[in-house]
Amino acid sequence: MTRLPVLPALFLVLSGCVTTPENAEPVSDESHELWYQRQQQLSTVQNWEIRGRVALFVDDKVYNLGLDWRLDKDLSSLKLEAPLGQGLIQLEKKDSQVTLLTSEGKTYNGQNAEQVLYQSTGWSIPVEGLRSWIKGINHNQSDYLPDIDSTGKAVSMHQDDWRISFLQYKKSQLANNYTSVLPRKIYMKRDNLALKIVIDQWQAQQKTPSSELFPTFED
């Protein structure tokens, strides 16, 4: 099983909830229509390059990882890298085949990304669900319960026993010059596992130096 370094919990400033301002506009029928439109538009977005950072909390342990996720119609490639070259996981899915490679030279194969990742690391990260949640919408494979704001964006969501909180949004440009307001900070938790994701770049065109991948999480 692949082991990446554990870093002190005090390395991060973590906010696990979203505070609604007192003067927030009320949610209306128009808000629900805007939410529906976001779901329809963003569900068609299946091509991106994301660079960012992940804080993974497992019981009392914290793992700080760089995130590089490239997705197109033929291939999904997800890299999680510990700082200073202390470990690397590359999870690739092509058609129905999933392959995980580690910096130790180990290879794991299967047809379910979450199961393959769990087999190699012991982390039950919902990779398939993240393909939708990272865009701020639900997936269509199970029931969900959203909490939206007046502009039709999800503030939080319950799905697959995960509570996903969208802490911050940012206008981002995707493929074909498509621009949308997408999550920049996400916090999600289920049982003893939690993740905080900070997305630095959507559809990145230049590689970020590895020394810039692991700053502290600042608001």
Task: Report the predicted TM-score, pTM, of the whole model to 2 decimal places.
Answer: 0.81
Which token pair is 122? 């012991």
- CB-count burial class (<10 Å; 0-12, 13-18, 19+) for 145: exposed
C-alpha to C-alpha distance for 197 and 219, rounded to whole angstroms:
13
Taken in order of first residue, the domains within the chain and their CATH numbers are 27-204 (2.50.20.10)
Q: What is the mean pLDDT of each run of 10 residues along the chain (219 residues)?
A: 44 38 77 96 90 94 94 90 80 92 91 92 92 96 96 97 97 78 96 96 54 43
- Rounded to the nearest 10°, the torsion over CA 216, 217, 218, 219 is 180
* Model pLDDT, residue 19: 42
C-alpha to C-alpha distance for 104 and 8, rounded to whole angstroms:
24
